């Protein structure tokens, strides 16, 4: 379970919330109606405001309740998207960026249209780092955003592996600097045009050493056929059942000590991090390892009262925060435990209650 990651899609949006809430509609409308050069600032303002930010994520309540198990929930003002680092091999890390493409999804309770959503530069600050390969997960592809050109340029210039969905069409795009996998749906509506259930398996490994190192991506695209009923591999133009692609890894700097990336770093600040913010980011590194993600899953499997007991006992939340939605309340509590280096204490408290 510690290797499960999720992002929201348009079917995670509860349109009834949008229809019944003027606050949600107003927050969305403020961003949509802003002039292009003002839209990023408007999104920042809306998401940072206590009331407007909560309105924007209100249609994602059910998603957040599910995603909290995997530390992939979204909440204002500082978690517009999530970030998670995984060690591949040979000192190379895979940085997963789980982007939120749905803040404007379902405006006025209607279906989304191409070029109607907004991602913003707040989510595409994918800093290049030696020994780190960026992987982007985003439900909607770039052409569904108002800022589609900027999104496409930023992601293509900064993300080696790009995973998009929504269109229910499997496509593989291979470039010298990246590979883009546009995926189908495992269980699409039986009556949609071009019905074709499909799924992908992607194998990532490191080839070579030092300056000759490359990331090898092997993509298996499986499509459903009716007679006989089974999934079969989609073939390349050369008739192969695997799409293979190799991309150079940023050169290693000998003096650089590579740390596993932080899972909870947001792109919200206007300026470069100061020393205090960098220190906080260092403490967040502990939240990236598999043992900690497993602890997060175990924590959420406790009862409501048990989670509350632990958080209050270890002073991870205060009384005022008890009114926050649970995914945000205890998401913040677990992050604080990581920053204070007391995750071992959380683990002991969880273990005691698991045996009760």
CA–CA distance, 219 with 204 (Å, rounded to integer) = 9
Q: What is the DSSP letter of 323?
A: G
Cβ partners under 8 Å of residue 102, min gap 6: 8, 9, 10, 12, 13, 60, 117, 139, 140
Segments of the chain with pLDDT less than 50: 253-286
CA–CA distance, 159 with 112 (Å, rounded to integer) = 26
pTM over 0.85: yes
φ and ψ of 14, to 5 deg = -90, 100
CA–CA distance, 126 with 153 (Å, rounded to integer) = 12
Q: What is the DSSP letter of 243?
A: E
Cβ partners under 8 Å of residue 256, min gap 6: 130, 131
What phi-psi label fits residue 131: left (phi over 0), alpha (psi between -120 and 50 degrees) or beta?
left
Q: Distance between the two ends of the chain, CA-based, in angstroms? A: 23
Q: Is 351 exposed, middle or buried (0-12, 13-18, 19+ CB in 10 A)?
A: exposed
Q: What is the pLDDT of residues 252-299, one digit of tens each?
A: 543 344 444 444 444 444 433 344 434 443 444 347 788 999 999 999
Asked if 206 and 194 count as a contact pair (C-beta separation under 8 A), the reply is no
Q: What is the pLDDT of residue 276?
A: 43
CA–CA distance, 296 with 331 (Å, rounded to integer) = 9
CA–CA distance, 92 with 260 (Å, rounded to integer) = 9
Q: Does residue 174 sit in helix, strand or coil? A: strand
Q: What is the pLDDT of residue 54?
A: 96
Q: How many CB atoms lie within 10 A of CB 85?
A: 20
Q: What is the pLDDT of residues 171-208, one digit of tens each?
A: 999 999 999 999 999 999 988 888 899 999 999 999 99
Helix %, strand %, coil % for the chain, to 5?
A: 40, 20, 40
Helices (H), 243-342: 275-284, 290-300, 304-313, 326-339
Q: Specify the residue for token string 């005691």.
A: 352
Asked if 181 and 58 count as a contact pair (C-beta separation under 8 A), the reply is no
Beta strand 179-182 with 171-174 is: antiparallel
Q: What is the pLDDT of residue 251?
A: 64
CA–CA distance, 11 with 188 (Å, rounded to integer) = 12
Q: What is the DSSP letter of 117?
A: B
Q: What is the pLDDT of residue 1?
A: 85
Nearest in space to 213 (alpha carbons), one of 87, 85, 95, 89: 89
Cβ partners under 8 Å of residue 28, min gap 6: 18, 56, 103, 104, 107
């Amino acid at each position: 379970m510690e290797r499960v990651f999720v992002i929201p899609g348009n079917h995670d949006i509860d349109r009834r919330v949008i229809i019944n809430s003027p606050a949600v509609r107003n927050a969305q409308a403020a961003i949509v109606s802003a002039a292009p050069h003002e839209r990023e600032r408007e999104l920042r303002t809306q998401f940072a405001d206590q009331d407007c930010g909560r309105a924007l994520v209100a249609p994602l309540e059910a998603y957040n309740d599910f995603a909290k198990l995997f530390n992939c929930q979204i909440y204002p003002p500082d978690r517009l998207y999530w970030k998670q680092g995984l060690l591949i091999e040979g000192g190379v890390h895979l940085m997963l960026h789980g982007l939120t493409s749905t803040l404007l999804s379902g405006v006025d309770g209607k279906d989304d249209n191409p070029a109607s959503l907004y991602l913003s530069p707040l989510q595409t600050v994918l800093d290049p780092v030696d020994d780190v390969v960026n992987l982007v997960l985003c439900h909607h592809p770039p052409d569904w955003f108002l800022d589609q050109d900027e999104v496409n340029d930023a992601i293509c210039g900064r993300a080696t592996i790009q995973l998009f969905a929504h269109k229910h069409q499997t496509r593989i795009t291979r470039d010298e600097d990246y590979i883009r996998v546009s995926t189908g749906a495992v269980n699409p509506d039986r009556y949609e045009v071009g019905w074709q259930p499909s799924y992908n398996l992607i194998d990532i490994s490191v080839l070579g050493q030092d300056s000759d190192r490359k990331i090898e991506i092997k993509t298996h695209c499986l499509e459903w056929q009716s007679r006989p009923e089974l999934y079969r591999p989609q073939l390349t133009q050369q008739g192969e059942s695997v799409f293979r692609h190799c991309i150079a890894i940023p050169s290693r700097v000998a003096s650089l000590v590579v740390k596993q990336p932080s899972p909870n770093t947001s792109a919200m600040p206007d300026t470069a991090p100061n020393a205090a913010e960098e220190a906080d980011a260092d403490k967040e590194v502990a939240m990236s390892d598999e043992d900690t993600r497993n602890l997060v899953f175990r924590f959420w499997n406790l009862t409501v009262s048990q989670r509350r007991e632990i958080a209050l006992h270890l002073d991870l939340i205060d009384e005022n925060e008890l009114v926050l939605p649970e995914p945000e309340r205890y998401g913040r509590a677990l992050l604080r435990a990581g920053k204070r280096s007391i995750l071992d204490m959380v683990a002991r408290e969880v273990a005691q209650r698991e045996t009760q």
